[in-house]
Amino acid sequence: LLPTACARRSQDLHCGACRALVDELEWEIAQVDPRKTIQMGSFRINPDGSQSVVEVPYARSEAHLTELLERVCEKMKEYGEKVDPGTHRKSYVRVISQDGTKMDLSGVKVDGDVAASLKFACESIAEEYEDELLELLSHQSDNVKDRLCSKRT
């Protein structure tokens, strides 16, 4: 029975970290001014004297997403662990709101071990699935959480 409980804990942690990672990335993307752009393309000059440079929205640019991926797992310290009383499955919820609203933290366990485990799982996912994350987020895909966390990871 013990190996099953440990395996489920690991699965709950991995799934929770993946979902928290995607939530954090999507929130950060939404905070960027939609009018902000970045130049992409080649800075080489074509034979006709022109350059192949295009402006793309900054929020979903590879440069911005890569920058976010490098620091997003630090946000895992703002999460706590909540255990479902019926199924005993663990989920991970924010304990510090992003917009300053009051949060209901009843039944949420907040400690350094939970945050460290969540951060480690987040970093593992971000590293292993970096290409998929960049691909899904750069094209404003629907259900990134389900596609990445339920089907891929």
**9: pLDDT confidence band, cut at 50, 70 and 90?**
low
Q: Please tell me the predicted confidence (pLDDT) of residue 124.
A: 94
**5: pLDDT confidence band, cut at 50, 70 and 90?**
very low
Q: Which of 34-38, 45-49, 120-124, 131-135 is modeled with the greatest confidence? A: 120-124
Question: Looking at residues 27-44, what average pLDDT do you find?
Answer: 84
Residues of the chain with pLDDT > 90, as a percent, come to: 33
Would you kindly state where each structural domain of the chain is located, as residue ranges? 3-32+60-151
Top pLDDT among 7 and 72 is at 72
For every residue of the chain, DSSP letters joined together read -HHHHHHHHHHHHHHHHHHHHHHHHHHHHHTS-TT-EEEEEEEEEPTTS-EEEEEEESTTSHHHHHHHHHHGGGGGGGEEEEE-TTT--EEEEESS-SSS-----TTEE--HHHHHHHHHHHHHHHHHTHHHHHHHHHTT-TTHHIIIIIII-
pLDDT in tens, 44-84: 777 887 777 778 888 888 889 999 999 999 999 999 999 88
Q: Please tell me the predicted confidence (pLDDT) of residue 75.
A: 93
Question: Looking at residues 22-41, what average pLDDT do you find?
Answer: 88
